[in-house]
A and B are shown apart, each in its own frame.
Chain A
Amino acid sequence: MSSGSYYVPASSRWPVLGSVALGAMMVGTGIKLVYDTGLPLVLIGVAGILAVMGLWFRDVISESRGGLYDDQMDRSFRWGMGWFIFSEVMFFAAFFGALFYVRMFAIPWLGGEGAKGVSALLWPDFVATWPLLNPPDSSIAGPEQVFSPWQLPLVNTLILITSSITLTVAHEALKVGDRKTCRNWLTGTVLLGCCFIMIQGVEYYEAYAHYGITLEAGIFGATFFILTGFHGVHVIIGTLILAAMLVRIIKGHFGDENHFGFEASCWYWHFVDVVWVGLFIFVYVL
């Protein structure tokens, strides 16, 4: 409900600059992909986006610390962040849906299951298996082997679950004003995030160097990389966000009760964590 003190910002130059930067990045990406040139435009676009985000957040932080925001504004941010995370959930749902569809329907049908049987006529010798090591057409080389879930993936699972716990400890410490504890546990969380990213890097190297799991390796490689890849990007973004929160903690930002920026970062990190658990189960274990 309105309180009458809702802060409506005056005009701002960041949004329109942000859309120009995003446009530059997209156009650059297109030129790079289609004509194999134009990398500078991509970099300009990315730099522009990062700069705009930094300056935009700086404005929001200074307005917040200047006491311009009230409880109602706080709720707007909460709804905004909550629905943003829901949109992210649906983004991953598309990729999980693709994985489930391929495993439940497409591959069994190619192998001759079901009443339709038409797709089974295309490659009569195809044997439906998962993980799909031998794609239907011999022109596409499948993976040589797949990862055991109980090695690096398990380590990464433990790292991310631990990081969610350490982040919660940091948040609880912030709530009671124990900033030193908060800083230490948050530092630990950021480091765990970095560990995850490095291990994932090692796994990607192994995938290409020794396992034959590549983007071109049929549907297994495609689903593997799109799911773990977008998750990895989200971990990188989440780690950067938490690092920014760490800087703000060190600079003395955030009150005991008024710290939604921190809390939103926690929401985001927990979301990334939950997605990984889904990945671990459906991409690696099952």
Chain B
Amino acid sequence: MAPKLPPQPPLQHNTTAVADGQSHGHAAPPKGILRWLLTTNHKEIGSLYLIFSLTMFFIGGIFALVVRAELFQPGLQLVEPEFFNQMTTMHGLIMVFAAVMPAFTGLANWMIPLQIGAPDMALPRLNNFSFWLLPVSFTLLLSTLLMPGGGPNFGWTFYAPLSTNFAPPSTTFFILALHIAGISSILGAINIIATILNMRAPGMRLMDMPLFVWTWLITAFLLIAVMPVLAGVITMMLMDINFGTSFFDAAGGGDPVLFQHLFWFFGHPEVYIMILPAFGIVSAIIPTFARKPLFGYASMVYATAAIALLSFLVWAHHMFIVGLPLVAELFFMYSTMLIAVPTGVKVFNWVTTLFRGSISFESPMLFALAFVVLFTIGGFSGLMLAIAPADFQYHDTYFVVAHFHYVLVPGAIFAIMAGVYYWLPKWTGHYPNEKLAQWHFWFSIIGVNLTFFPMHFAGLAGMPRRIPDYALQFADFNLLSSIGAFFFGASQLLFVLGVILCVRGGKKAPAKAWEGAEDLEWTVPSPAPLHTFETPPVFHRTSH
């Protein structure tokens, strides 16, 4: 089961790539905690993002386990329904905005400058600002749980008027916290675009960039396009709550459905923000361990762009039952189905890259392969949900929960973990413990399927989401899901253990840590010195 690592090439000294390491006009960085508070270094900020994200992953995970514990058997036993609502809401908000998005931003911070041969991000101080807004934002968000009336309890989609007329007083703080997180995302995205467009090594054209860089370029565009819309819609909520406006109140001529349109105009691109960088990571790992160049590089780029553009035209598929005109139902149904085409191109390219490759199954590859299979399952259930008349039955059932957890957990999160195992040797100079990583993988894949696969059946049988109690016929499915959730949650401790062990020691990694890895980051030593590419490397076009 655990194959040996591929034979390692001797340490490469690429003198153009690693010019004079640490020196070069930098005063010694401040010591202790100040170093992390004041840093402008993309690697340190990347690590901060990743540590923050991992912390929030566990906090959001504990919220999910509260939900699963309550749903372990029918009836109300552990928590009040009011608190259950806060847990489902906070689980969603924390996982989306504080775990998945910062994890990808952390990987972008670490890897984009290394992959394009840049000395740092284009705007390093802004980079620090983007990160340090996050702890401020999410401390405020989490503190709402302790406020009178409790925290947000209206679901992570915070539909008005539930989130305006009928919400706890802490909603105002929730809105302000989300504003801070939004500012962080926008500034981070601006920085990433400026870095990619302006900081590439001489000779590297756009169509020479690794796909992780490409997918992040497009993701950053999506972020800049839709985070301000989120800011706008939560500002309207703030006004409705505190200043007596009637944006989402039909009594004054507004419309609750307006909230849903604006929210999902943000929300649908948002879900691609959480998956496009995952595509990039998988597109780096599969060629490395299949020891073949990526099949269809250009079509991967165009498919990513096509998915991003389509994401602006499909938002109302989240609202099929709200009472849209028929023509809107049809338009959004067909435009949603169209997304399967570029996504299919991607899956085809990954599979074709594997075809006749010399495949080995190290932990990054295992996670990447699981991503391809399980993300595709999530894609298919998405296609089922896209069919408007069918969605009338599926809407707000556990089938929807199953669908988006398949694309987010074995989708986005498996890709993040694949990326972490793939790049840990570059970050720490050590290979992660492969045996531990493989145990983590197999536990995770069993846990994830045990948790989420039964939800398809519960949902198709009619179990509604976000309700703390359920009818007896759903008991077996929920029992399985709850066991799976605790199993999955516990097995993530192996991940933390593996990362800590890898930071502290382990088998030394050479510059090119994986035999089949081709991108620029593998030309600098492992661990990558604090400052890399201060003199730009000369980029030699290989194969795409």
Q: Interface residues, chain A, CB within 8 Å of chain B?
A: 1-4, 6, 8-16, 18-20, 22-23, 26-27, 29-30, 33-34, 56, 72, 75-76, 79-80, 83-84, 86-95, 97-98, 101-102, 105-107, 110, 114-116, 118-119, 122, 132, 135-137, 139-140, 142, 215-216, 218-223, 225-226
List residues of B (230-253) whose CB comes within 8 Å of A's CBs: 231-233, 235-236, 238-239, 242-247, 250-253
Report the minimal beta-carbon distance from B207 to chain A, rounded to whole angstroms.
15
Question: Which 9 A-B residue pairs are closest in the complex by CB-CB distance?
Answer: A94-B232, A137-B251, A2-B536, A219-B253, A15-B129, A222-B245, A23-B136, A91-B228, A106-B255
Interface stretch, picked from B62-70, B80-88, B189-197, B344-352, is B189-197
Q: Evaluate contact between A222 and B247: CB separation under 8 angstroms.
A: yes
The answer to whether A22 and B136 touch (CB under 8 A), given A79-B194, A135-B252, is: yes
Q: Evaluate contact between A94 and B233: CB separation under 8 angstroms.
A: yes
Report the minimal beta-carbon distance from A25 to chain B, rounded to whole angstroms.
9
Report the minimal beta-carbon distance from A95 to chain B, rounded to whole angstroms.
6
Q: Evaluate contact between B245 and A2: CB separation under 8 angstroms.
A: no
Q: Evaluate contact between A93 and B229: CB separation under 8 angstroms.
A: yes
Residue of A nearest to B231 (CB): A91
Q: Kindly list chain B residues whose C-beta atoms are within 8 Å of the C-beta of A101.
A: 255, 258, 261
Report the minimal beta-carbon distance from A204 to chain B, rounded to whole angstroms.
14
Q: Evaluate contact between B125 and A14: CB separation under 8 angstroms.
A: yes
Q: Evaluate contact between B239 and A222: CB separation under 8 angstroms.
A: yes
State which of A10, A12, A114 has its C-beta within 8 Å of the C-beta of B325: A114
State which of B122, B140, B201 has its C-beta within 8 Å of the C-beta of A76: B122
Contact with A along B204-239 (1 / 0, CB 8 A): 000000000000000000001111110111011011
A89 CA to B194 CA, complexed, in Å: 18
Report the minimal beta-carbon distance from A228 to chain B, rounded to whole angstroms.
13
A101 CA to B233 CA, complexed, in Å: 13
A12 CA to B245 CA, complexed, in Å: 42
**What are 14 pairs between A and B in contact, CB < 8 Å?**
A1-B201, A2-B118, A4-B535, A9-B40, A19-B133, A87-B227, A87-B228, A89-B228, A90-B226, A98-B247, A102-B255, A216-B246, A222-B239, A226-B245
Report the minimal beta-carbon distance from B27 to chain A, rounded to whole angstroms.
5
Q: Evaluate contact between A79 and B132: CB separation under 8 angstroms.
A: no
Report the minimal beta-carbon distance from A85 to chain B, rounded to whole angstroms.
10
Q: Evaluate contact between A98 and B262: CB separation under 8 angstroms.
A: yes
Residue of B nearest to A218 (CB): B252
Report the minimal beta-carbon distance from A67 to chain B, rounded to whole angstroms.
14
Contact with A along B149-183 (1 / 0, CB 8 A): 00000000000000000000110110011011001
State which of B118, B140, B244 has its C-beta within 8 Å of the C-beta of A23: B140
Q: Is B124 an interface residue (CB 8 A)?
A: yes
User: Which bucket holds chain B's interface residue count?
Assistant: 35 or more
The answer to whether A56 and B239 touch (CB under 8 A), given A2-B202, A221-B245, is: no
A33 CA to B171 CA, complexed, in Å: 11
Q: Evaluate contact between A8 and B119: CB separation under 8 angstroms.
A: yes
Q: Evaluate contact between A90 and B30: CB separation under 8 angstroms.
A: no
Q: Evaluate contact between B40 and A216: CB separation under 8 angstroms.
A: no
The answer to whether A11 and B246 touch (CB under 8 A), given A26-B179, A80-B194, A218-B252, is: no
State which of A91, A102, A118 has its C-beta within 8 Å of the C-beta of B323: A118
A30 CA to B238 CA, complexed, in Å: 10
State which of A87, A107, A219 has its C-beta within 8 Å of the C-beta of B247: A219
5 more contacts with CB within 8 A, not counting A8-B531, A215-B239, A216-B243, are: A2-B202, A23-B137, A79-B193, A220-B253, A226-B247
State which of A3, A75, A95, A116 has its C-beta within 8 Å of the C-beta of B232: A95
Q: Kindly list chain B residues whose C-beta atoms are within 8 Å of the C-beta of A16.
A: 37-38, 128-129, 132
A132 CA to B251 CA, complexed, in Å: 12
State which of B29, B123, B183 has its C-beta within 8 Å of the C-beta of A11: B29
Report the minimal beta-carbon distance from B311 to chain A, rounded to whole angstroms.
14
